[in-house]
């Protein structure tokens, strides 16, 4: 008598390969944003001391990172749509690692500018195609939650950088900030290897259909013709897309001020020690891992517009609290509100791009709105640093961030239709 064993095909299909792809998306975001961008937040005080930088110069460094992101993001999505996300993601991660290494190797302000710029270029080249992969691998009913999982890579970056960077700075002395950049570059190279080996552009490459795909989506996918799938002009002429881009600008401008100068503000103006400030930043990273789950799920259940309204409202209150009061209670409440909403808007934008333009055009749509988002990110640190030098405090910058989130973000969301209409396709 032979023992009954499950058929190999059945055993394999118990875990859809889409979940492997989603895990790799998390790792790509972890490197491109969690380490390359938010690692700078933890390293900022040590770099500022070692290089004798003004507050304006620290803002300029982060702005150059975001300028690099900005000049790349517009065509990163188009390249991904043409050559496939996997190839573009791999190139982007290599550039991220190079930028980190340059920042540590040459201890001058000019070299740091170059390194931050390269990290931004690679960050856009890897992050945008990675998040766009959610659309071909997940149907509309699962897309918001899946995108929320993907953006959790930023939280993982905070969780790693929070304890790792202070420990390296403590053990390596004055040159510890340079060692930190080498370690972050090495971690990015490991992610590059995993993505190159295991990422796939479409479920069809594994003989699969998207997770949670509805019958209507399957029929629409079968009926769509190649010219319809590449109707680029329809993407860029969409009034809804430009509204989403304005909302993304508001998020980029406001959150980056908070994220960039969070530790600096606490240590210089709120009486926190570096270890205590780093611990709170780590706690934000831990809690923020659920932000994408929460608001992606809310958007799947009650609509993307409702989720956007709540997120902008809570973030606006968070930023205003941070700038208006330095009491421990206000600071911790601000941190909690930000942590619960931190990476939700990028997830919602990725889901909306797929909802409105379909899997093939989603990278181009996401690239365009992220281009405008990058403008906000590039302006935010520069203006915040200049305000801090003029007023001798970062409080006005946080107040500006809060008003931007509430007025431009929340107010702009009210102009969206409750039910967004997908771009029509031509048969």
Q: Work out the average pLDDT over 380-395.
A: 89
Average pLDDT score over the chain = 84
The predicted pLDDT at position 188 comes to 96
What count of Cα atoms within 13 Å lies in the side-chain half-sphere of residue 326?
A: 12
The predicted pLDDT at position 226 comes to 41
The predicted pLDDT at position 427 comes to 37
What confidence tens digit (pLDDT) does each residue in 288-344 have? 888 887 888 888 888 889 999 999 999 999 999 999 988 999 999 999 999 999 888
What confidence tens digit (pLDDT) does each residue in 245-301 have? 999 999 999 999 998 889 889 988 988 887 788 789 888 878 888 888 788 888 888
Q: Work out the average pLDDT over 160-172.
A: 86
Higher pLDDT, 78 or 30: 30
State the sign of the Cα–Cα–Cα–Cα dihedral 141, 351, 298, 341. positive
3-state secondary structure of 314: helix
Q: How confident is the model at residue 421 (pLDDT cuts 50, 70, 90)?
A: low
Q: Work out the average pLDDT over 17-34.
A: 93
Q: Work out the average pLDDT over 230-248.
A: 79
The predicted pLDDT at position 221 comes to 55
The predicted pLDDT at position 136 comes to 87
Q: Work out the average pLDDT over 370-385.
A: 86
Cα-only R_g, the chain? 21
Q: How confident is the model at residue 6 (pLDDT cuts 50, 70, 90)?
A: very low
d(CA 179, CA 219): 53
pLDDT value at 223 more than 50:
no
What structural domains and CATH numbers belong to the chain? 18-200+239-413 (1.20.1250.20)
Q: How confident is the model at residue 422 (pLDDT cuts 50, 70, 90)?
A: low
What confidence tens digit (pLDDT) does each residue in 119-135 have? 999 998 998 899 889 88
Q: Work out the average pLDDT over 75-91.
A: 86
Given a contact cutoff of 8 angstroms between Cβ atoms, the answer to whether 55 and 389 are in contact is: yes
Higher pLDDT, 417 or 21: 21
pLDDT value at 95 more than 80:
yes
What confidence tens digit (pLDDT) does each residue in 167-222 have? 898 888 878 889 999 999 999 999 999 999 999 998 988 888 888 776 665 655 54
The predicted pLDDT at position 419 comes to 67
pLDDT value at 115 more than 80:
yes
DSSP string of 1-38, one letter each residue: -PPP---HHHHHHTS-HHHHHHHHHHHHHIIIIIITTT
- What is this structure's pTM? 0.72
Query: What is the CA angle 400-338-161, rounded to 5?
Result: 110
3-state secondary structure of 147: helix
Q: How confident is the model at residue 84 (pLDDT cuts 50, 70, 90)?
A: confident
Token pair belonging to 17: 């390969």
pLDDT value at 415 more than 50:
yes
The predicted pLDDT at position 252 comes to 93
pLDDT value at 350 more than 60:
yes
d(CA 3, CA 126): 47
Q: How confident is the model at residue 233 (pLDDT cuts 50, 70, 90)?
A: low
Q: Work out the average pLDDT over 343-360.
A: 83
How distant, in Å, are the alpha carbons of 20, 96, 405 from that of 198?
8, 19, 38
The predicted pLDDT at position 229 comes to 44
d(CA 365, CA 368): 5
pLDDT value at 139 more than 90:
no
């Amino acid at each position: 008598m032979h023992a009954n064993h499950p058929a190999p095909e059945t055993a394999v299909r118990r875990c859809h390969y889409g979940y492997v792809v989603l895990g790799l998306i998390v790792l790509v975001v972890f490197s491109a944003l969690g380490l390359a961008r938010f690692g700078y937040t933890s390293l900022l005080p040590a770099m500022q001391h070692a290089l004798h930088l003004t507050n304006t110069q620290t803002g300029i460094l982060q702005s150059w990172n975001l300028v690099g992101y900005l000049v790349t993001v517009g065509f990163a999505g188009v390249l991904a749509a043409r050559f496939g996300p996997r190839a573009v993601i791999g190139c982007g991660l290599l550039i991220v690692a190079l930028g980190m290494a340059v920042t540590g190797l040459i201890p001058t302000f000019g070299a740091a500018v170059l390194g931050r710029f390269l990290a931004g270029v690679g960050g856009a080249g890897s992050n945008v195609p990675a998040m766009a992969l959610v659309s071909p691998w997940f149907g509309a009913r699962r897309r918001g939650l899946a995108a929320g999982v993907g953006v959790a890579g930023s939280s993982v970056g905070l969780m790693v950088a929070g304890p790792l960077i202070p420990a390296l700075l403590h053990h390596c002395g004055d040159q510890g900030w340079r060692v930190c950049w080498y370690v972050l570059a090495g971690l990015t190279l490991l992610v590059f290897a995993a993505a190159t080996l295991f990422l796939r552009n479409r479920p069809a490459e594994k003989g699969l259909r998207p997770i949670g795909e509805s019958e209507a989506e399957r029929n629409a996918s079968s009926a769509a013709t190649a010219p319809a799938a590449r109707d680029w002009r329809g993407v860029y002429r969409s009034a809804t897309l430009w509204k989403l881009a304005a909302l993304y600008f508001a998020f980029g401008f406001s959150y980056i001020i908070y994220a960039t100068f969070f530790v600096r503000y606490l240590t210089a103006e709120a009486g926190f020690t570096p270890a205590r400030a780093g611990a709170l930043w780590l706690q934000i990273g831990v809690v923020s891992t659920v932000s994408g789950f929460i608001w992606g799920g809310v958007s799947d259940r009650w609509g993307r517009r409702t989720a956007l309204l709540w997120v902008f409202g809570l973030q606006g209150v968070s930023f205003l609290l941070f700038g208006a009061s330095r009491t421990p209670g206000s600071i911790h409440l601000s941190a909690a509100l930000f942590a619960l909403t931190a990476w939700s808007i990028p997830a919602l934008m990725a889901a909306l791009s797929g909802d409105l333009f379909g899997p093939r055009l989603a990278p181009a749509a996401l690239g365009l709105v992220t281009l405008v988002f990058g403008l906000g990110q590039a302006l935010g640190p520069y203006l915040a640093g200049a305000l801090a030098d003029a007023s001798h405090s970062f409080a006005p910058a946080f107040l500006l961030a809060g008003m931007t989130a509430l007025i431009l973000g929340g107010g702009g969301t009210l102009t969206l239709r409750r039910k967004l209409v997908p771009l029509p396709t031509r048969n």
